[in-house]
Every structure is written in structure tokens, then in C-alpha cells.
Amino acid sequence: MSLLQSILLGILQGATEFLPVSSSGHLALLQNLFHMDADVGVLFDAMLHLGTLIAVCIVFWKNFSNLVKAFVEMIRDLFTNISIFFTSRGQADKHYIDLVDTAYKKFVVLIIITSIPTAVIALIVYPVVKMAQSNLLIPGVCLVITAIILLISDSARPGKKKVRRTTYKDAAIVGVAQGIAVLPGISRSGSTITACLMLGFDRTFAVKYSFLASLPAIIGANLFELRHIGSDVITGAVVGNCFVGMIVAGIVGYISIKAMLYFVQSKKFSYFAYYCAIIGIIAIIAYFIAG
């Protein structure tokens, strides 16, 4: 892989990971429509995702750092409660620590709940995803579905839900939307933000929740794929290109997240909807023309 390819793929990953146009769908179209080899290697793919993860952490640094702190405190309190259980046998007045006594601790639980259906659905449809990437029809149809989802999001009434008013059922529904988005052509950010808006989330919080809740899913998916890293040929040049791609993906991802905050607030998802519909229809037509 050349340096130019690393830069171009970094731009593609950084933009399509966060803008509601489906990164996996675009990669599938590149493979099939233009006969390009988008198999860039496990290490490079992981580095691109690392760049976008860093972008999320930078944009939402205060929230991210507080979530990490809350998670560590919850683990500590959990072990304390376990200790109380075993050291206070026979006592009727055991005093356990409340594990979810702050908004950020609830935020942690919400993200965990969102991640569970995402992981289950992703594992179930994984074989279908691999098959779907080998033709134009499924990514094309999914891009049209994404267009419909985005048009729905612009029609959502303004909501006021933030962490304290968000229910665990809401979190599970967003997790289902995120799980379905593993299909190439279904935008993860578009589907999860739309789900949040339809559930009555505040528009800014919907974007924040969508991106922060994506962190466990992206990390888990990359750890799952890293089992194949032994098949990659890793040289100094490859590592250098990986770092360049990661930095580009992170910079473009940062800009894309900021843009998403604007687009959601101004209800301008329709532009992305028209784009996805056009690209999806072109892919479907190309599939039938090619036979």
C-alpha cells in the first residue's frame, strides 16, 4: 500500500465513520464497482479505527474522562460490595454501596446496555456481512434504507432526554439500531442518532451518545479482527503508512464529528439522505447491468 492510498483511505474512514453515509458501504462499493482492493490489512484497518476513536475522545474529552472515572469507581464499589457480602454473613443490616449514584455512572450503564444487543446482532449477522460485501446489491439497498432513515431523523420532534431521563430500554433500542448497522450500507451514526431522536433525546445529546456508545463496539470489532493479524506482512514502510492513515483519519474524523453536531441541530440530514439514495440506486442499477 502506497502513502497516497493510506491518506485517501484515512480521509474515507474519518469522513464516513461519523458522517451518516456508511463507511462499510463505501468500502464495499469501492471493491465491487471499481474493482479496487479495499482489503488493506488488519493492522492498517485497526489503526484507522484507532484514529477515529481518538477523534471521539478529543471532541468529547470531558465526557470520556468522566465516564472512565465513573467506570473505575463502579468496579471498585462492586468489589467492595462483594467483600461486604462475604464478610458480613448473618448480619441483617448490610449496607451496600449504590453502584449507580451519579449521572455519569448511569451513563456508563446505558452504554454497556447499548453494547450488548450490538454485540449479539453483530455476531449473528457476521457471515451475512461478509457475503454482502461481495456484491453491489445489498450495499446499494442498504444505502437507500439509510436515506430513508435520515429523512425520518429530520422529521423527529425536539426532545429533552439526557442521561437522567434516558431509560435502559432506550439504551437497548439504540443498541439494536447499532447492531443492524453492521450491514454494509447502513450508517451506524445515522441509524443510532435517528433512534435517539425518535426516542426523544436532546439533539446534541443524541450525537454525543451515538459516538460515545460506539467506542466499545469499534474496539470490540477490531479486537475480534486482530486475530487475523498474523497473516499480514508488516514492514517499516507498512507501519509508517499505518500511522499516516491513522493521523489523517483522526483529523478528518474530528472535523466530521463537529460537522455532525451542526447538521443534527439544523436538521440538515436530508442532504446526506439524497446522497445515499443516489449512490445506492447507482449501485443497484450497476448490479443488474453487470448481471
Q: Looking at residue 86, what is its pLDDT?
A: 82
Confidence band of 264 (pLDDT split at 50, 70, 90): confident
Whole-angstrom Cα distance, residue 146 to residue 92? 55
Q: Looking at residue 10, what is its pLDDT?
A: 87
Q: Looking at residue 90, what is its pLDDT?
A: 64
Whole-angstrom Cα distance, residue 65 to residue 71? 10
Q: Are 189 and 18 contacting, i.e. CB atoms less than 8 angstroms apart? A: yes
Q: Using CA atoms in the order 57, 254, 130, 119, what is the torsion angle rounded to 10 degrees? A: 30
Q: Are 257 and 59 contacting, i.e. CB atoms less than 8 angstroms apart? A: yes
**Across residues 11-21, what is the average pLDDT?**
87
Cα angle vertex 192, ends 180, 286, to 5°? 55
Give the chain's mean pLDDT.
86
Whole-angstrom Cα distance, residue 141 to residue 285? 11
Confidence band of 187 (pLDDT split at 50, 70, 90): very high
CA–centroid distance for 222 within its chain: 12
**What's the whole-model pTM score?**
0.87
Whole-angstrom Cα distance, residue 140 to residue 276? 9
Confidence band of 17 (pLDDT split at 50, 70, 90): confident
Q: Are 227 and 31 contacting, i.e. CB atoms less than 8 angstroms apart? A: no
Which residues are registered as beta bridge partners of 201?
A: 161
Q: Looking at residue 145, what is its pLDDT?
A: 95
Which residue from 222, 249, 251 is spatially nearest to 9, judged by alpha carbons?
249
Which of 47-61, 69-83, 131-145, 156-170 is predicted with the least confidence, judged by mean pLDDT?
Answer: 131-145
Summarize pLDDT for 79-108 with one digit per residue, the tens.
Answer: 999 988 888 776 767 788 899 999 999 999
Does residue 27 have a pLDDT over 80?
no
Does residue 64 have a pLDDT over 60?
yes
DSSP at 186: S
